């Protein structure tokens, strides 16, 4: 496994929080070395959620139109680090 103990704890925490609020969920992360990790509550629902997400991203409809991204966030991001 490519994740260290701290990253595994974060994954468990994310899984617990999502499970508390959502009956079905799927999520994925990419580590600093580029390895993909994904998880879901139910295999079939997780697969369907990922397929739907990819279809939405490829459709060009912009499923993120509800997000209010700031114009230039680079300086703020560096301050957090």
User: Could you tell me which residues come within 8 angstroms of residue 53 by beta carbon, excluding any fewer than 6 positions away?
Assistant: 26, 63
Mean pLDDT (whole number) for 52-71 = 72
- b/e per residue 39-55 (b: at least 16 CB within 10 A): ebeeeeebeebeeeeee
Q: What is the pLDDT of residue 62?
A: 58
Assessment of whether the complete model's pTM goes beyond 0.75: no
Residue 26: burial class (beta carbons within 10 Å; 0-12, 13-18, 19+)? buried
For 5-16, the pLDDT digits (tens) are: 888 899 999 999
């Amino acid at each position: 496994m490519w994740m260290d103990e701290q990253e595994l704890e974060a994954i468990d925490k994310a899984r617990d929080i999502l499970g508390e609020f959502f009956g079905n969920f799927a999520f994925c992360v990419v580590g600093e070395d580029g390895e993909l990790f994904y998880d879901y509550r139910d295999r079939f629902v997780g697969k369907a959620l990922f397929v739907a997400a990819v279809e939405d991203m490829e459709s060009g409809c912009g499923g993120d139109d509800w997000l209010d991204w700031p114009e230039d966030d680079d300086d703020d991001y560096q301050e957090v680090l």
